[in-house]
Amino acid sequence: MIHQLKSLKMDWNHSYRMAVLKSNDIAVTDWTDGGKVHTIEVDWRMNAILKMNMIDGFHRPEHIAVNKSEEILVTEGQLFGKYQGCCLKIMDSERILKKTIGPDYGNKFTFVNPSEVCVDSNENLFVADEGQNRIVMFNPDASDCFSSNSRSRGSLWAFGDKGWALGSS
């Protein structure tokens, strides 16, 4: 069975990516007016949008993921110049901005164009930075990170029984 959603209240032409929340709501990134994220409550039996909420304050929101706590993670890509956007934003389950990571993360790295985000089964966050040609892994509360840079020779990511490790090849 195919379900199709339509709403006169939302312009789907500028939507970029989406994620499904535990509650079966849908979160959609949208580039309209600089950027926002829509959360949509759906009744699939009726093919109806029950409720739509909008979260403003983004600059070119691109990819989106959701963790087990229903926090929404959104990457902001590079927007018309260096360091506008270029971050990962984390919103809590109440859809309030909890944390912004980037463009700089101390002296460890700088995001140039974070282009993807995902969460593993241990709640670690992974951000692919297209501009730096690397993947950055954060622990679940994003207080520490590990980086894989394919430009540096000899770097090798491996996953073992104790988690991810970066070693030399």
Let me know how long the chain is.
169
Cα 58 to Cα 45: distance, rounded to the nearest angstrom: 32
DSSP 125-157: EEEEETTTTEEEEE-TTSS-EEEEETTSTTEEE
Helix (H, G, I), strand (E, B) or coil at 11: coil
Q: In the chain, what is the straight-line distance between the N-terminal and C-terminal CA atoms, in Å?
A: 49
Burial class, 161, CB count within 10 angstroms (exposed 0-12 / middle 13-18 / buried 19+): exposed
Instruction: Find how far residue 83's CA is from the centre of its chain.
Output: 17
Beta-bridge partners for 101:
88
Instruction: Find how far residue 18's CA is from the centre of its chain.
Output: 10
What percentage of residues in the chain have a pLDDT greater than 70? 79
Cα 162 to Cα 91: distance, rounded to the nearest angstrom: 28
pLDDT at position 145: 79
Mean pLDDT of the region 43-72: 89
Give the pLDDT confidence of 99-121 residue by residue, as tens digits.
999 888 777 778 888 889 999 99
pTM of the complete model beyond 0.85: no
Give the pLDDT confidence of 58-92 residue by residue, as tens digits.
888 989 999 999 999 999 987 665 556 789 999 99
Cα 161 to Cα 150: distance, rounded to the nearest angstrom: 24
Cα 81 to Cα 94: distance, rounded to the nearest angstrom: 31
What percentage of residues in the chain have a pLDDT greater than 90? 29
| Mean pLDDT over each residue of the chain, to the nearest integer | 80
pLDDT at position 126: 92
Question: In the predicted model, is pLDDT for residue 155 greater than 80?
Answer: no
Q: How many CA atoms lie within 13 A of 24 on its CB side?
A: 6
Give the pLDDT confidence of 117-154 residue by residue, as tens digits.
999 999 999 998 888 888 888 889 888 877 765 444 33
Q: How many CA atoms lie within 13 A of 155 on its CB side?
A: 14
More confident site: 94 or 157:
94
